Amino acid sequence: MLFPKFYNKRFKHITVLISLAICTLIILNGYLSHDTNQVKIENEAIIQFKASANRYNPKQMTYVVFQYLTAFNKKKHTNHPLTSNIGGDFGIWFHWDDWVDLSAGNTKLNQVRKQHPSGGCPNNIQRYGAFSGFPFESMRSKITRSKVDLYCNQEVPKRIVIATDKSFVELPVVGEKRFVESKQSKKNTKNLSQEDKDSKEFQDSDDYHMMFGYKNFKKFEKEIDIEYSDFIFNIKDEIVRLKEKWNRRYIWVLEKKYLDMLEWANHLIDFSGSNEYFKNPWKFKDSLTSKIHAYAYPFYQRSLTDGERQSIAQHMIQTWFQFAQANGLKSWLGDSSLLGWSYNGIDLPWSLNIDIHMPIRQLDRLGRDFNKTLLIENPRFGNGKYYLEVSPTYGKQAIKSDSIEARLVDINSGYSIEIKSLMFHSDVQPPKKFWKHLANSDEKYEAVATHTKDWEWQNLRDTIPIRHTYFEGTSVYIPHNVTRYLSNIYKDKFINATYIGDYNYQRDLRLWVPNDVCNTSPKNFRFINKDDYSQLSLKGACNKESLKDEYQITEKLTTRHRELNSNIDKAKDYDPNQLKDLPIMRKDVWEYFNDIVHRTVDHTNWYNGVSSN
């Protein structure tokens, strides 16, 4: 017989299994290909905001830190003893429970807080938090576990760096201790008004500079050249060099600490196997779609709406580049962030993180001087608090997925800036495809092949000198030759695309628009005034308030990009110190939900300015 009969039991079983497999694949395909509903995520965010509002307010600890600075100032001028609940003469105490909304872990932590008001955890709770979640554990359970881990096990920052009007002020963290807030402190910080934001509490003071470490803001330069030596780093050579100094008893204390760190990192790489240093809240959905979430564990709370991600990104970018410039750290946009800039000067709306590149020696310095630093955004602009952590395995190849060498994490969402280094190894040759973009033999002869930890190759001559531009309206740096830099990453696949994933690029708006909003530009005139393209009509926004809102936020940002970068590899001449950064036009995330919950607005727009409508 050519075909088995249906009464054959084995055939029946196989048929049933195949049918079940097909049904499962159909269901999974529908689940995995369906985009997360933005309205549903926002509703969940509002519910979470209401649930934690009585206990958590991001303004509180910012206000308390400035009160500490003021108290220190008074002590200096009056010789009165320092009166502050958060610190003493040598710095401040810190506990993650004061700075992050840990409400998701309350089922485990409420009793712990009662038993240990100043901090600390029983061993069984510590073990619960330290255990990495089961692969198929529910997301709610993972989030609970992550908050317990943050409360009980995570090391506190070494320092807090606060952005003021003219500088960054550094406060040392002297130990771990919860801030037991008083009724008066709650009263003072529950609803800080605009008058509070504009008060002298948040302004620069010369006394801060005399008492604490500080770095004044520095002007951005049109171009910055970087030494070739900044791209050369060999961890074993560094260890040998420092050991020789140690053997001669001619080594500084900080150098000895650096040596210990390098030896530990070298050991960690050799014996860590397939483990990654930075953890993400792994999801079953992610593994099948290869859309691994860039949210940082254990700070992840929930999925973010597009509006939340874009807001956090704009605030973070300003803080990072101001901080890097003030401290002489050279970095530039890379990967998807650079791709977003090339189109319209803003981030891609679907991007899960901001991508930053820097030379390996600069990353080494970042780790030595600023690892485990908490950056506080200038409270005039928002409530951002960002934790900088550098992996000890930077500069040495490990598994490909362990390519992120440092990250700056928004501690209340897990959204992050991911930082990779570029390095040069004379004993490693680039692949053949690296040479394809080089036009002639002279270019090939002069090329200097550098690469990231996950073997993304770049010609150093396309990278330096890095040049100034505006991204999301704020001053940043980009590679010297953007087209080639992007081609080495994306192989020309997306550089001129107008459809990527679920978005289409509408040139008249200079925006990536979700296909479900409108999959092409309408033929009708889209603006309110024929002589003024700054205001989009509702009909021109495909009858979507969200698109009208986004255009109002980005119109000035994308207009500046178009005016300066008609050629993305050669900007028009301008002085970055004369052409100032544009204002942050996206609401702070906490302010956005606070306005909605307390009904101080009658809309759900992210635009932070005064509408002319």
Q: Is the peptide bond before 392 cis (omega within 30 degrees of 0)?
A: no
The closest alpha carbon to 405, from 423, 422, 390, 388, belongs to 390
Beta-carbon contacts of residue 299 (< 8 Å; ≥ 6 apart): 100, 146, 150, 387, 409, 410, 411, 412, 413, 414
With beta carbons less than 8 A apart as the criterion, state whether 298 and 356 touch. no
Residue 322 pLDDT greater than 80, yes or no? yes
With beta carbons less than 8 A apart as the criterion, state whether 107 and 124 touch. no
Per domain, the residue ranges of the chain are 59-157+179-216, 280-597
* Alpha-carbon span 91 to 86, nearest angstrom: 9
* Alpha-carbon span 97 to 179, nearest angstrom: 9
* Token output for 296: 């940082």
Residue 440 pLDDT greater than 80, yes or no? no
With beta carbons less than 8 A apart as the criterion, state whether 187 and 87 touch. no
CA dihedral 70, 74, 77, 80 (to 10 degrees): -150
Residue 71 pLDDT greater than 60, yes or no? yes
Task: Report the pLDDT value the prediction gives residue 278, as an integer from 0 to 100.
Answer: 74
Sorting pLDDT into bands at 50, 70 and 90, what band is 41?
confident
Task: Report the pLDDT value the prediction gives residue 87, as an integer from 0 to 100.
Answer: 79
- Using CA of residue 293, residue 296, residue 302, residue 308, what is the dihedral sign? negative
Q: Name the range with the highest mean pLDDT among 29-43, 174-188, 555-569.
A: 555-569
With beta carbons less than 8 A apart as the criterion, state whether 485 and 463 touch. yes
pLDDT, mean over the chain: 83
pLDDT in tens, 292-318: 457 888 898 888 888 999 999 999 999
* Token output for 314: 């704009």
- Using CA of residue 388, residue 390, residue 391, residue 397, what is the dihedral sign? positive
pTM to 2 decimal places: 0.87
* Token output for 607: 């635009």
Task: Choose between 377 and 181: higher pLDDT.
Answer: 377
* Alpha-carbon span 238 to 86, nearest angstrom: 39
The closest alpha carbon to 476, from 606, 294, 337, 359, belongs to 337
Kindly report which listed range (76-90, 337-351, 576-590) carries the lowest average pLDDT score: 76-90
User: What percentage of the chain carries pLDDT values higher than 90?
Assistant: 43
Residue 286 pLDDT greater than 80, yes or no? no
Sorting pLDDT into bands at 50, 70 and 90, what band is 512?
very high
User: What percentage of the chain carries pLDDT values higher than 70?
Assistant: 81
* Alpha-carbon span 481 to 76, nearest angstrom: 52
Task: Choose between 282 and 303: higher pLDDT.
Answer: 303
pLDDT in tens, 560-605: 999 999 999 999 999 999 999 999 999 999 999 899 888 888 888 8
With beta carbons less than 8 A apart as the criterion, state whether 557 and 530 touch. no
Burial 231-246 (b: 16+ CB within 10 A, else e): bbbebeebbeebeeee
Sorting pLDDT into bands at 50, 70 and 90, what band is 320?
very high
Task: Report the pLDDT value the prediction gives residue 324, as an integer from 0 to 100.
Answer: 97
Cβ count near 399 (within 10 Å): 15
Residue 479 pLDDT greater than 50, yes or no? yes
Q: What SS3 class is residue 359?
A: strand
Cβ count near 165 (within 10 Å): 10
With beta carbons less than 8 A apart as the criterion, state whether 452 and 422 touch. yes
Kindly report which listed range (255-264, 376-385, 436-445) carries the lowest average pLDDT score: 436-445
- Per-residue three-class SS string for 212-266: CEEEECCCCCCEECCCHHHHCCCHHHHHHHHHHHHHCCCCCHHHHHHHHHHHHHH
Mean pLDDT of 53-63: 87
Sorting pLDDT into bands at 50, 70 and 90, what band is 273?
low
Q: Is the peptide bond before 122 cis (omega within 30 degrees of 0)?
A: no
Beta-carbon contacts of residue 7 (< 8 Å; ≥ 6 apart): none
Sorting pLDDT into bands at 50, 70 and 90, what band is 3?
very low
Question: 434-442, long-range: CB within 8 Å, 24+ apart, which pairs?
Answer: 434/459, 434/488, 437/484, 437/487, 437/488
Kindly report which listed range (51-60, 467-476, 510-519, 587-596) carries the lowest average pLDDT score: 51-60
Task: Report the pLDDT value the prediction gives residue 25, as an integer from 0 to 100.
Answer: 54
E strands, 429-502, in order = 449-451, 457-459, 466-471, 474-478, 499-500
Kindly report which listed range (10-14, 122-126, 589-593) carries the lowest average pLDDT score: 10-14
* Alpha-carbon span 256 to 243, nearest angstrom: 9
With beta carbons less than 8 A apart as the criterion, state whether 299 and 413 touch. yes
Sorting pLDDT into bands at 50, 70 and 90, what band is 31?
very low
Which DSSP state fits 538? Answer: T
Q: What SS3 class is residue 129?
A: helix
CA dihedral 320, 332, 401, 159 (to 10 degrees): -30
* Token output for 244: 């020789």
